[in-house]
A = this chain, B = another copy of it.
Amino acid sequence: MPINDVTEALVRHRRFLLTSHYNPDGDNIASQLALASILRSLNKQVAIVDQDPVPGRYRFLPGWESIGNQMVPQNASCVVVLDCGNIDRIGKVSDIITPATMELVNIDHHVSNTLYGHFHYVDPEASSTCELILRLAQKLRVKPTPEQAQIILTGMMSDTGGFRYASTSADTLRAAGLLSDYGAKIAEVAEQLYYQQPINQLKILGELLSRLKTGAKGKLAYMSLTQELIKRYDFDLSESEEFVKYALAVKGAEVAILFKEQGDGVIRVSFRAKGRVDVNQLAGKFGGGGHISAAGARLNTTLEDAVQKVVQMAEAELSSN
Contacts and interface: CB of A to CB of B under 8 A. Distances in A.
Contact of A274 (B178, B195, B199, B206): B195
Assign chain A's interface to a size class: 35 or more
A250 B197 contact: yes
A203 B194 contact: no
Contact of A196 (B161, B197, B203, B251): B251
B206 A211 contact: yes
A187 B174 contact: no
B166 A186 contact: yes
Interface string A224-256: 000000000000000000000011111101000
A199 B212 contact: yes
B162 A163 contact: yes
A250 B202 contact: yes
Contacts of A250: 195, 197-199, 202
A194 B163 contact: no
A319 B208 CA distance: 33
B164 A194 contact: yes
A251 B165 contact: no
Contacts of A266: none
B186 A164 contact: yes
A248 to B, nearest CB: 6
A311 interface: no
A207 interface: yes
B163 A195 contact: no
Contacts of A171: 177
Contacts of A180: 168-170, 173
Contacts of A125: none
A140 interface: no
Contact of A163 (B163, B166, B210, B248): B163
Nearest to A186: B168
Interface string A191-224: 1001111110011111111111010001001000
Nearest to A204: B210
Contacts of A13: none
Given A186-B164, A191-B274, A274-B187, A199 B221 contact: yes
Contacts of A218: 199
Contacts of A174: 173-174, 177
A105 to B, nearest CB: 29
Given A170-B180, A173-B174, A205-B206, 13 more contacts: A163-B163, A163-B190, A169-B180, A170-B177, A198-B251, A199-B251, A202-B209, A203-B210, A203-B211, A206-B207, A206-B209, A206-B210, A209-B209
Interface of A: 161-166, 168-174, 176-178, 180-181, 185-187, 190-191, 194-199, 202-212, 214, 218, 221, 246-251, 253, 274
The 4 closest A-B pairs by CB, nearest first: A206-B209, A206-B210, A173-B177, A170-B180
